[in-house]
Amino acid sequence: MALYLITGIAGFIGSSLARALIAQGDEVRGVDNFSTGKRHNVADILGQIDLREVDLLDFDGLHQACRGVDYVFHEAAIPSVPKSVLDPLGSNRANVDGTVHLLIAARDAKVKRVVYAASSSAYGDTPTLPKHEGMLPNPISPYAVAKLTGEYYMTSFYRCYGLETVSLRYFNIFGPRQDPTSPYSGVLAKFITQMLSGEQPTILGDGTQSRDFTYIDNAVHANLLAVKAPASQVAGQVFNVATAKRADLNQAFQLLKKITGYPGEAKYGPTRSGDVKHSLADLSRSEKHLGYTPKVDFEEGLRRTVDWYRGQFKAAEA
């Protein structure tokens, strides 16, 4: 049994990781400042976790949170491209300064390994598809720059201090508990909840932009592998976490129509500033060094996600 610290434990990905760790019998501590994390995401596991309201910029709080910890999953972030375009300083503070604080605290506490939520947005609009980790990054938005900077810090802390780090470049993770309510929410969470409540979704642009949409269980699986993989294979390295398939937004909308039964069409709005056109992962490196292959494909992931939001709607009505 190991003790894990999850930053951003009340978020969509952090709370999913917490459930997986509890299920395999590990001890879980979590920090969150509840800026985007939600208490209801951890309400059912409150008795099984050591939850602390700590901001990443609170050095003392983080040092205390890292005490005795074996592994850290660093998920806390302001995870939005458009929000970073509006507020680059805020994005930098949470995503870069927060990450450096966490790394110092983890180093000082002699944590065994830090696994970091990196982002496929680091690839930007490089024309090559699929994207592989050996490519030169080409970030567009301040968010992408900040997430990429976090990766460099991960590698730097491994090289300078010997703290084992692994960066996982997430490709559009979706699934139960993703917040659909903010203007910065992930597109699938928004579309699903809109379509289930009979509202018309808006496709920003012509809908031909594509993403390697990745169901949450795949991301959880990758994190668990990243903790166990031999340091010689993974420490200081970067890995894609995705499905190696892509769908454009028009296709995603059509699939959701089929699954939700929504009868209408989408409306179209202006393309978002800082938006990436296409995203698709090469998984060779993750397969070879992490032993990662996706477990749940896009359509099955959509079905499970729609079922979950349906359940939420029913529970709210009851």
In the complex, least distance from residue 269 CB atom to ligand UD1, rounded to whole angstroms: 7
In the complex, least distance from residue 118 CB atom to ligand UD1, rounded to whole angstroms: 8
Nearest residue (CB) to ligand UD1, 114 versus 168: 168
Binding residue for ligand UD1, selected from 21, 65, 249, 256, defined by CB under 6 A: 249
Task: Note whether 219 binds ligand UD1 by CB under 6 A.
Answer: no
Task: Note whether 11 binds ligand UD1 by CB under 6 A.
Answer: no
In the range 83-122, which residues lie near ligand UD1 by CB under 6 A?
Answer: 119-121
Nearest residue (CB) to ligand UD1, 48 versus 250: 250
Binding residue for ligand UD1, selected from 33, 80, 99, 240, defined by CB under 6 A: 80
Q: Given 143, 153, 170, 262, which residue is catalytic?
A: 143
Q: How far is CA 270 from CA 86, 126, 151, 202, 275, in A?
A: 16, 22, 31, 10, 11
Task: Note whether 275 binds ligand UD1 by CB under 6 A.
Answer: yes
Q: How far is CA 26 from CA 42, 109, 224, 298, in A?
A: 16, 19, 12, 29
4 is catalytic: no
In the complex, least distance from residue 202 CB atom to ligand UD1, rounded to whole angstroms: 5
In the range 194-213, which residues lie near ligand UD1 by CB under 6 A?
Answer: 202-204, 209, 211
Task: Note whether 243 binds ligand UD1 by CB under 6 A.
Answer: no
Task: Note whether 172 binds ligand UD1 by CB under 6 A.
Answer: yes
Binding residue for ligand UD1, selected from 14, 79, 176, 294, defined by CB under 6 A: 79
Active site residues: 143
Point out which residues bind ligand UD1 (CB under 6 A). 79-81, 119-121, 170-172, 184-187, 190, 202-204, 209, 211, 249, 272, 275
